[in-house]
Amino acid sequence: MRNIISLVVLVVIVFSCSLDLEPISEFSASGFYETAEDARAGVYGIYNATQSAFSRNLAFWGEGRADAVDTRHSGDPRMLLNNTLNKDMRSASWTGLYQIISRANYAVKYIPEVLSDEGLGATLMGQARGLRALAYFYAVRIWGDVPLVLEPFEGTDQEIFVRRTDREIVLDQVEKDLMYAARNAPQGGDKTLFTAGAAYALLSHLYMWQHDYEKASSYSDTVMADASYTLVTIDDWNKIFTNGNSRESIFEIGYNEDQTNMLRVLYALGSDSDYFPSETFMNTFEDGDLRQELTYDVTKAFPRMIWKFFGKGFNDEDPAPSTHNIVMLRLADIILLKAEALLHLGDKQGALDLVNRIRNRAALPDLNENTAVALYGDIESAILHERLVELSYEGHRWFDLVRTGKAISTMKPRNGLSDEDNLVWPISGDAINRNPNLVQNEYYK
């Protein structure tokens, strides 16, 4: 009898289980950063968030409110183009960007616990901070003041109802992060990683946005001096986008068969994509510009798709997601930024020389001051036009217009944009609902 009882008790004890069960197919939030491999995976997780943040918003944010596109689609495309933005539209959500920031914050906090600040540790930290800077830079350009969060969220006892931070303070942080990335991120190599070159290129953009032309000029020099970046020939121009990792590319978000983006839905879904070239855009090309027929089907009176990212002659009704990388920064962009900076610093000829580098590639003749003024009114406009056709649909146009103060004059005839306060997006209703301390942008109150 006793034996049986002991047996039963034994059975219970043997089989009785611990309640401390660790996750099997994932890590518990507190137990992740333990090895160098974890640190690496954490940083790739930031890139993963970057993939989704820009998959569709690249065009909504960078092109949707500007003059190069037209649309037949309701929802964000129509609202952006008609300047009837509302707080519930898709592109008003900053979820994707703060996901990048949150993952970067984890990495920035925990990588130093696993790795030293040299070698791999530094490289990883550089990428994490670089991507965080990218996200904040976009956030400021889209919403103005945004909450500046630099610590990972790890528990409910933390302050989470953060207020919006002045945009200049956020941009200071962007600058710090990019400076760190410039020193520590990988030097060259794979364009799908945030390299030192990408940091310098983004710094150029940052200073142009802040109208600090000295610094913009100096950092774009650094990029242009880097022998690993060269302009490709016009024959390879589409391949910058279709093949990826070109010599001209500085930073691109990588995608593949499994990790896809919405470029095709945005630009090339047969006769039904979100965007197609606007009449303004089609009429803006100078005769003989080789880029025109690489950008869209010039044989059609009303082309319904954009070829640029898929190659000339691309014709597909397939709404399958796209697998091409999204090129965020490339040399032509930086060259034209440098030209703009030089112009503001008084070096008109230097500026025109750089513009002509880009024009020549497209088989266009050199511009001089007179022709530039004749054609575009002034040199700045000529540079901006060059950016429009060279960097079309790459997500730069709207920010270029805002940065140069030309957004209202350009868009007013088209959609009545007239208020400076209207240049930012509304903060999404969802974000405000979740955080009572967030105040809506003035124009959208």
Site for another protein in 33-62 (CB under 8 A): 38, 40-49, 51
- Positive or negative, the Cα torsion across 19, 22, 24, 25? positive
Bridge partner residues of 165 (DSSP): 146
Residue among 6, 113, 117, 161 that touches another protein (CB under 8 A): 161
The nearer residue to another protein, 17 or 227, going by C-beta atoms, is 17
Residue among 36, 120, 149, 234 that touches another protein (CB under 8 A): 149
165 touches another protein (CB under 8 A): no
| CA–CA separation, 41 and 33 (whole Å) | 9
Q: Contacts with another protein in 235-294 (CB under 8 A)?
A: 254-259
The nearer residue to another protein, 189 or 319, going by C-beta atoms, is 319
Question: Which range touches another protein (CB under 8 A), out of 56-64, 115-123, 283-291, 428-436?
Answer: 428-436
Phi, psi of 268 (to 5 degrees): -145, 35
In terms of residues, how long is the chain? 445
Q: Contacts with another protein in 95-124 (CB under 8 A)?
A: 95, 98-99, 101-103, 105-106
Q: Pattern 345-384, binding to another protein, x per CB under 8 A? A: ----------------------------------------
| CA–CA separation, 97 and 412 (whole Å) | 29
- Residue pointed to by tokens 């034994």: 10
| CA–CA separation, 249 and 345 (whole Å) | 27
Q: Minimum distance between the CB of residue 142 and another protein, rounded to whole angstroms?
A: 14
Helix (H, G, I), strand (E, B) or coil at 174: helix
Q: Contacts with another protein in 296-335 (CB under 8 A)?
A: 317-320
Best CA proximity match to 92, nearest among 320, 429, 385? 429
Distances (CA, A) of 306 to 96, 165, 269, 331, 384: 25, 38, 9, 22, 21
User: How far is C-alpha 49 from the chain's CA centre?
Assistant: 12
Q: Minimum distance between the CB of residue 256 and another protein, rounded to whole angstroms?
A: 6
Specify whether the CB–CB gap between 281 and 343 falls below 8 A.
no
Q: Contacts with another protein in 5-34 (CB under 8 A)?
A: 5, 8-9, 11-12, 15-32
The nearer residue to another protein, 99 or 410, going by C-beta atoms, is 99
Q: Contacts with another protein in 68-97 (CB under 8 A)?
A: 74, 93-95
The nearer residue to another protein, 103 or 385, going by C-beta atoms, is 103
4 touches another protein (CB under 8 A): yes
Residue among 53, 115, 181, 431 that touches another protein (CB under 8 A): 431
Q: Minimum distance between the CB of residue 380 and another protein, rounded to whole angstroms?
A: 35
Specify whether the CB–CB gap between 363 and 342 falls below 8 A.
no
The nearer residue to another protein, 51 or 238, going by C-beta atoms, is 51
Helix (H, G, I), strand (E, B) or coil at 166: coil
Residue among 228, 243, 434, 439 that touches another protein (CB under 8 A): 434
Residue among 3, 118, 156, 445 that touches another protein (CB under 8 A): 156
58: left (phi over 0), alpha (psi -120 to 50) or beta: alpha
Bridge partner residues of 253 (DSSP): 326
| CA–CA separation, 264 and 268 (whole Å) | 5
The nearer residue to another protein, 252 or 400, going by C-beta atoms, is 252
Specify whether the CB–CB gap between 304 and 313 falls below 8 A.
no
Residue among 82, 83, 192, 245 that touches another protein (CB under 8 A): 192
The nearer residue to another protein, 159 or 235, going by C-beta atoms, is 159
Helix (H, G, I), strand (E, B) or coil at 322: strand
Question: Which range touches another protein (CB under 8 A), out of 61-69, 195-203, 231-239, 434-442?
Answer: 434-442
405: left (phi over 0), alpha (psi -120 to 50) or beta: left
The nearer residue to another protein, 102 or 284, going by C-beta atoms, is 102
The nearer residue to another protein, 51 or 91, going by C-beta atoms, is 51
Q: Minimum distance between the CB of residue 217 and another protein, rounded to whole angstroms?
A: 33
Q: Minimum distance between the CB of residue 101 and another protein, rounded to whole angstroms?
A: 7
Give the total of residues touching another protein (CB under 8 A).
77
Specify whether the CB–CB gap between 353 and 383 falls below 8 A.
no
3 touches another protein (CB under 8 A): no
Best CA proximity match to 173, nearest among 196, 150, 157, 143? 150
Tokens describing residue 141: 């350009």
Q: Minimum distance between the CB of residue 335 and another protein, rounded to whole angstroms?
A: 28
Tokens describing residue 123: 């490289």
Q: Minimum distance between the CB of residue 318 and another protein, rounded to whole angstroms?
A: 5
Q: Give the gyration radius of the chain's Cα atoms.
A: 25
